[in-house]
Chains A and B, each alone.
Chain A
Amino acid sequence: MAFEIKNPGLSTTVQDEGRTGYYDVGIPQGGSMDQYSAALANALVGNDASMAVLECTYMGPIFITDVPAAIAVSGAPVIVKVNGTEVPQWERISLEAGDEVSFGIIAGGTRFYIAVAGGIDVPEVLGSRSTYVLGALGGFEGRKLAAGDVVPVGVSSGNLPAGHRMAEEFRPVFAKEQRVRVIMGLYDHRLTDAGRASFLNEEWKLTPVADRMGLRYDGPGVEWKERVQPFGAGSDPSNIVDAGYAVGSIQIPGGTQPIILHRDAVSGGGYAMVATVISADMDLVARAAPGTVTHFDEVTMDAALVARRALKARRNAAVASLSS
């Protein structure tokens, strides 16, 4: 059972919930950038949330299934076609052997997800099927898909949920403006008061320099405090002695463009971080398209944990809604 890739699209990779436990040697977490969307696609085809999906960026693939299969497409809004005929997104689709699946251009956001009953069945590497392209590790031969690839599909449990469509209320919104919640900290004491105010009060616009490693924002910049740099820290006030980078942390090299580090980011480096996106908003950041106007809102640890529980509850409710 497999998908034969006729055209890989712009950047299509195998992803799952990610690979933890190896960050201390520089292997990033990886995994679907928009975990919520990936989980809902899996739920529509009766998969456990841990099963691997295809993550498609801007332009999707064209592929043919060699056996009957149940698939679902979630994430960024996109036209889905089977043998050239449009079929709905956010619904389970039954494919016959030989059916060809293709996609239109996305109408917002950045990434959409294809789940198949039984999951994408590439071998696990260090406990995950996620692709880490820089390390040529995991996924399909450690790289994005290419034409001619035959991507293995696992055996379906056959337990398809009663519902075949995800209700609108549970689908994420792909907006041109976002409010991203952050916890200030790490090296924020190195910012001047004006620099801190600029970061939290000004508008930032997502540049095209945005991928699985990080997202770079344009805006008025921030001001760092001048100091005599500590030994080993480098000469710019935004430099520190190379340290570990928190996933979701925001660095502002040279005080110009904030960069949010996402799931495939480098695990450490010499730029001071001033805040971290709360775990509940990492999927939101992953949905931003270049040009998205972004505000960084400071929240407390308690507020972050409330948001984390709320997101989990919403995801559970979405999955549960399919079984009734």
Chain B
Amino acid sequence: MSTVAIGLGPARYTWGGDETLFIEVAEAMSLEANFKVMALAKATTATGIQGIIDICPANASLLIRFNPDVLEASVLEATVRGLEEGLGDISEHRLSTRIVEVPVWYQDLFTSEVEARFREGFHQEPSGTDLDYAAKVNGLADAAEFIKRHHEQPWIASMVGFVAGLPFLFQLVDMDKQLQVPKYLSPRTDTPKLTVGHGGAFGCIYSVRGAGGYQMFGVAAAPIFDPSQGLADFEDFMIFFKPGDLVKFKPVSEAEYEAIQQEVAAGTFRYRQASVEFSLADALADPESNNKKIMETLDGV
């Protein structure tokens, strides 16, 4: 286990046309890079500069869309560079966030059915399941062991996007314990809504039904995107996840899944969640102890 932060050099600044500034904090994914992205996004938002349209933190990069009629590109770049220099030691940053328990029916009927339709020509091992393959490439005994590794330790929503409200998730474990699974050889044209998936080093929850290339492990039992804003968790906004949210998956049985469906239909479902202060230094020094503390905040909620 390494307690030393990966040295992050200065970010790379580049333009996505005349309306977008793109800032690559690091080429490789790491918790440090993601933390720096979020700190820079927060600092940029706090300036309240006129002419910024969107500030989009991603896994290891940040995208800022602006109106060049109002804000000069060079002024924006100089401002963000100044903010980057002012961030100081990233490991000392803390994130005021929340931990959310997300019930998942692993090895469910929905993803199993779709999985079976996309084997030959789509999947690396057409004769097995996505979970069998994920276990094998991570050197684990079987699907059950992979599932255990998947839900035992929490994840951070390192980016929200692709489609509306889809969280990219990075597990809060040492680099040598990161689960990595290649994406499908060729993307599927279908993925069930709320599929819990994994591609490369990232987990995700598909917010809407559609195309997708991540391996499929199960389905989340409750909505994460609700344009009708029917449930209490969606009272303020139709999208549940924000970058920086912490996620603890909780395995549920088919019967428990059905019970949650009924709560959702009745409008009574609420996610178990608690506020937490997340320290990068603590997370890097001893992730499992830090995770234990964080998960304990859910007790009694």
Interface residues of A (CB under 8 A from B): 20-27, 125, 132, 134-137, 142, 182-183, 185-186, 230-235, 239-249, 266-270, 273, 276-279, 301, 304-305, 308
Measured between alpha carbons, how far is A244 from B54 in the docked complex, in Å?
11
- Residues on B with beta carbons closer than 8 Å to the beta carbon of A26: 160-166, 207, 239
Q: In the complex, how many angstroms separate the beta carbon of B161 from the nearest chain A beta carbon?
A: 4
Kindly list chain A residues whose C-beta atoms are within 8 Å of the C-beta of B18: 183, 278-279, 301, 304-305, 308
Please measure, in the bound complex, the distance between the C-alpha atom of A247 and the C-alpha atom of B16, giving whole angstroms: 8
- Asked if B175 is at the interface (CB within 8 A of a chain A CB), the reply is yes
Given contacts A135-B225, A267-B161, contact A301 B243 (CB under 8 A): no
Task: Please give the distance in Å from A16's CB to the nearest CB on chain B.
Answer: 16
* B207 contacts across to A, CB distance below 8 A: 26
Q: For the complex, count residues of B whose C-beta is within 8 A of A.
A: 55
Query: In the bound complex, do residue A301 and residue B15 qualify as a contact, i.e. CB atoms below 8 Å apart?
Result: yes
A132 touches B164 (CB 8 A): yes
A277 / chain B contacts, CB cutoff of 8 Å: 17
Asked whether, in the complex, the Cβ of A244 is within 8 Å of the Cβ of B56, the reply is yes
A266 to B164, CA, bound (A): 9
Q: Give CA–CA (A232, B17) in the complex, Å.
A: 26
Which positions 1-41 of chain B face chain A at CB distance < 8 Å?
14-20, 22, 24, 26-30
B54 contacts A142, C-beta separation under 8 Å: no
Report B49-75 CB contacts with A as 1/0, cut-off 8 Å: 000011111111111010011000100
Decide: B227 and A276 in contact? CB cutoff 8 A: no
Measured between C-beta atoms, what is the minimum distance from A134 to chain B in Å?
Answer: 6
Give me 11 other A-B pairs in contact (C-beta within 8 A), A185-B14, A246-B20 excluded: A23-B54, A24-B243, A26-B165, A135-B227, A182-B17, A183-B16, A186-B15, A244-B63, A268-B63, A279-B18, A279-B68
**Chain B residues within an 8 Å CB radius of A22:** 54
- Do A267 and B162 touch across chains, with their CB atoms under 8 A apart? yes
In the assembly, what is the distance between CA of A305 and CA of B18, in Å? 7
Residues of A with C-beta under 8 A to B14 = 185-186
Residues in A with CB closer than 8 Å to B239 are: 25-27
B128 at the interface (CB under 8 A from A): no
| Smallest CB gap from B65: residue in A | A23
| Ranked 5 nearest A-B pairs via Cβ | A246-B16, A232-B29, A244-B63, A276-B17, A230-B28
Q: A134-B163, A134-B164, A231-B28 are in contact. Are A142 and B200 (CB under 8 A)?
A: no
Contact indicator A268/B58 (Cβ below 8 Å): yes
Name the distance in Å between B172's Cβ and chain A's nearest Cβ.
15
Q: Among A125, A132, A183, find the residue whose CB has the most chain B CB atoms closer than 10 A.
A: A183
* Interface flag for B43 (CB, 8 Å): no
Task: Let me know if B27 and A230 touch, CB within 8 A.
Answer: yes
For residue B56, which residues in chain A have a CB less than 8 angstroms away from its CB? 23-24, 244, 267-268
- Contacts A25-B164, A233-B200 given; indicate if A243 touches B59 (C-beta within 8 A): yes
Would you call B202 an interface residue if the criterion is a C-beta within 8 Å of the partner chain's C-beta atoms? yes
Among candidates A137, A185, A301, residue contacting B22 with C-beta atoms closer than 8 Å: A185
Highest count of chain B CB atoms <10 Å: which of A21, A132, A240, A241: A241
Return chain B residues, CB-CB under 8 Å to A267: 56, 161-163
Q: How far is the CA of A248 from the CA of B65 in the complex (A)?
A: 12
Q: From residue A166, how far is it (CB to closest CB) to chain B in Å? A: 25
Closest residue of chain A to B227 (Cβ to Cβ) is A137
The answer to whether A20 touches B24, judged by C-beta atoms less than 8 angstroms apart, is no
B134 to chain A, nearest CB (A): 16
Question: A270–B200 contact, CB under 8 A?
Answer: yes
The answer to whether B201 has its CB under 8 Å from any CB of chain A is: yes
Give bound CA distance, A26 to B92, whole Å.
29
Some 12 contacts from A to B, beta carbons below 8 A apart, are A27-B239, A232-B60, A232-B201, A234-B200, A240-B27, A241-B60, A245-B63, A247-B19, A247-B20, A273-B16, A276-B16, A279-B68
Task: Say which residue of B55, B62, B161, B208 sits within 8 Å of A134 (CB atoms).
Answer: B208
Complex CA–CA separation, A242 to B56 (angstroms): 12
Bound CA–CA A148/B263 (angstroms): 34
* A241 with B161: CB separation less than 8 A: no
**Contacts A134-B208, A231-B175 hold; do A244 and B164 have CB atoms under 8 A apart?**
no
A279 vs B227: C-alpha distance when bound (angstroms): 30
Nearest-neighbour CB distance to chain B for A271, whole angstroms, equals 11
**A301 neighbours in B (Cβ, 8 Å):** 15, 18, 73
B201 touches A244 (CB 8 A): no
From known contacts A24-B57, A232-B59, A249-B17, infer whether A268 and B161 are also in contact, taking CB-CB under 8 Å.
Answer: yes
Is B159 in contact with chain A by the CB < 8 A criterion? yes
* Interface contact B162-A276, CB-CB below 8 Å: no
A88 CB, nearest partner CB in chain B, Å: 34
State whether B22 touches A186 (Cβ < 8 A).
yes
Residue of B63, B166, B201 with most partner-chain A CB within 10 A: B63
Residue of B18, B59, B165 with highest tally of chain A CB at under 10 A = B18
Q: How far is the CB of A142 from chain B (nearest CB, A)?
A: 7
A241 and B33 alpha carbons, distance in the complex (Å): 11
When C-beta atoms are compared, the residue in chain B nearest to A26 turns out to be B161
A residues near B20, Cβ cutoff 8 Å: 246-247, 249, 276
Q: Which residue of B lies closest to A276 (CB)?
A: B17
Distance of A136 Cα from B100 Cα, bound (Å) = 26
B257 close to chain A: CB less than 8 A = no
For B15, the chain A residues whose CB sits under 8 A away are 183, 185-186, 276, 301
**Residues B17 and A268 in contact, CB atoms below 8 Å apart:** no
Report whether A230 and B160 are in contact in the complex, using a CB–CB cutoff of 8 Å: no
CB neighbours of B28 from chain A (8 A): 230-233, 241
Give the shortest distance, in Å, between A103 (CB) and chain B (any CB): 30
Cα distance, A241 to B25, chains bound together (Å):
11
